[in-house]
Structure formats: C-alpha cells, structure tokens
Structure 1
C-alpha cells in the first residue's frame, strides 16, 4: 500500500513518457545516458533499468556502443521496475524491445504517477518489422525521437539493423560482428525485408 501512496502523491506533479528509438548503432543508449545525466545535474532522483536478458555489457551499468556508462539495475521483467522506482522522479529504461508485454502498463503507471519515463529501444527487428512493445510505447509517448545510424554500404541515414549471421530467431544479441546499419535501399537490395 505504501508504494501506491507514493505513486498517488507523485501524480500531482505530472509525469511523461519519452521514447528514443532507431536501429542498432544509432545512439539510442547514448541519448538515454545524456538525458539521465542532465536530470542528475538537476539533482533529480533517477533510476535506470535494463532487461536481465541483455548480457552484452555489464549487469550493473548501462553501457553505450561508445563505452559511455551509467549505473543501472538489471531486472527479470517489467513489473519488477515498479517497487524499485517508488522514490524516483526519472526512470530510464534501455533495450525496451527485450522486455515482456507488461512494459507499456508499467511505463503508463509510472508516468500517471508523476514520473518522467525515458525509454530507449529498437523500433524494428532485423527483418524490418515492429519489435516488441516499442510500437505501443511510441503511441503512448508525449515525445518520440527516432535516431538514425549511418548506412555502411552507401553513407545514407540508416533505419534498419541488417543481420550478418544466418539466424532466424527474432532475438540474437550481438554487436558489429552480427549486425550493421543499413538504409532502406541497401537493406532491401539484399532481399532481407519482406
């Protein structure tokens, strides 16, 4: 009941949902870290969460591809965020596409209770299809920032994450050995999208 009271009181302030999306290597995590650091400069209480399933870097820190980092908490599922965010004014959530289907409900509950929620994640999978809860989160958000990488084939803005390895599972954790950013034309030239 205490957590519900905290959420009720915080509602007087007014919360919001911000979504940062784009392809791999577009700077989503970097932008999330930048926004969270600005909140910390303002002496706002912040917590950052990531899914336990993302094992590429550090379970106690959010790390960008540029190796910038900030402390974070890895959680098993979206609902685990609520009790950990009871006294927080800003919540950052990275790799949102890997969370379970309860994430939009959790994000909405936080925002409705007065929390500024910043969510970052891939908006499309390696086949160019909407990924996880990202479309729903984007629809609920007050603001959506779509970032682009640089296409490794032609230098145009890249919106797709092209998979370099033969694996058809939707989730395949990897870095530059497994993915590269591609623009729409270069992505489609190799016959991946469909």
Structure 2
C-alpha cells in the first residue's frame, strides 16, 4: 500500500522521490500522483531521459501499461525552461539523468514547484545508481516501493541482471532483469563469481 505524503501545511516547493528495484511500481506510483495533481487542476509537466525508449518515445509507461504523456530530454538543464504556470513536475527513470539533476530540481523547488521523481535507487551491482543517492538526500518526501522476489516470494529490493553484460546502463525488462530480495540477490551474485 502506498501512502501519499500529506502536504496541507507545505507552502513552498519540494521534492518527492519514489525509489525501489525494477518491477516495484515506481512509475505506476508516479503516474498515480501526476493524475491526482491534474484532477486537482494543477498544471503538470512530465519528463523522461531521451535514452529510455523501451515503451514509448513521448510517454512514461508502467509495466501495467498505464501511461502519462512526457517530454524526452537529453540534459537536465532543459527542465529550467518550464513555463511559470507549471506547478507539478514529474521525472521518470531519474537514475539516467546527469548529476546536475540534483541542482536543477532544487532550483525548481526554490521556485515553488512540486517535483515528483521516480527511479532505481540501486544498479544491478547493488550500488547507488547515478544521481539517485543525492536526490534521496535532498528530498523532503521519500517513498521506497518493493517488488516480490522472483525466487522466494519475499519483498524484493534489488534488480538482478540475468546477462553477463557489465555495462551500468542496459535497458531491458523481464528478459534481462529479475526483482530479488537481499538474500537471493547475494546468492545469485555468488554463483556468478564461480
């Protein structure tokens, strides 16, 4: 169950980060919050890294096929060109943005914007992924979502890569990744070292 942050006393801008492993519902939760903001009559703008072309070029799409129109960008500085009337900004797959995303989202929050960010907190090695650790450090609200371990059924916190490719960024779905709990992730990596 997701608990949305309570904002009744919040008058300035802020950052919300939704993080977790692959298949944990990060994009689904991002879309849910964006739809609620739009229903409330707030002006919403959504962005995704141009490198993420898995489902659609101009949308963020969850594994359940829910979607929200988005603008692909190549540099996080492009966020600063937003019209003033936009009050809610959504960012998906934040781990793929450049390191300046932290500074730019904070600048937007100082301008009174609500920024909702979704991304993988760890890469396939179990290490902090891209700018996510820094975004988590400066966020006012953090939601960590969990998948179900594909091996034992416990809560999954890790994204386990099924291929030997060692590049940090490898776009894929269930053909290349599994959600795993800490124990199954560790056991799989120990077997890979043999």
* Normalised TM-score (structure 2): 0.91
Please, which of 108, 111, 121 is the counterpart of residue 109 of structure 2? 111
Q: In structure 2, what is the equivalent of residue 84 of structure 1?
A: 82
Q: In structure 2, what is the equivalent of residue 132 of structure 1?
A: 130
Please, which of 154, 157, 160 is the counterpart of residue 158 of structure 2? 160
Q: Aligned Cα RMSD in Å?
A: 1.4
Shift in Å at residue 55 of structure 1? 1.0
Shift in Å at residue 115 of structure 1? 0.1
> Per-residue displacement from partner, 1:131-183 (whole Å, max 9, x unpaired)?
00000000100111000000000000000000001100000000000000000
The count of aligned residue pairs is 182
The question of whether the paired residues in 2 share the 8 Å contact of 1:96 and 1:134 is answered with yes
Poorly superposed stretches of 4+, deviation over 3 Å: none
Tell me, in whole angstroms, the C-alpha distance in 2 between the residues paired with 1:166 and 1:76.
Answer: 28
Q: Which runs of 5+ in 1 are unaligned?
A: 1-12
Q: In structure 2, what is the equivalent of residue 183 of structure 1?
A: 181
> Per-residue displacement from partner, 1:27-80 (whole Å, max 9, x unpaired)?
000000000000000010000000001110111111101100011100111001
Q: In structure 2, what is the equivalent of residue 68 of structure 1?
A: 66
Tell me, in whole angstroms, the C-alpha distance in 1 between the residues paired with 2:30 and 2:155.
Answer: 20
Secondary structure, in 3 states, of the residue corresponding to 1:57? coil
Q: Which runs of 5+ in 2 are unaligned?
A: 1-10
Tell me, in whole angstroms, the C-alpha distance in 2 between the residues paired with 1:191 and 1:33.
Answer: 33
Shift in Å at residue 81 of structure 1? 1.2
The question of whether the paired residues in 2 share the 8 Å contact of 1:19 and 1:119 is answered with yes
Please, which of 81, 98, 101 is the counterpart of residue 99 of structure 2? 101
Tell me, in whole angstroms, the C-alpha distance in 1 between the residues paired with 2:56 and 2:107.
Answer: 28
The question of whether the paired residues in 2 share the 8 Å contact of 1:47 and 1:85 is answered with no
Tell me, in whole angstroms, the C-alpha distance in 2 between the residues paired with 1:185 and 1:86.
Answer: 47
Please, which of 10, 17, 20 is the counterpart of residue 19 of structure 1? 17
* Normalised TM-score (structure 1): 0.91
Tell me, in whole angstroms, the C-alpha distance in 1 between the residues paired with 2:76 and 2:83.
Answer: 12
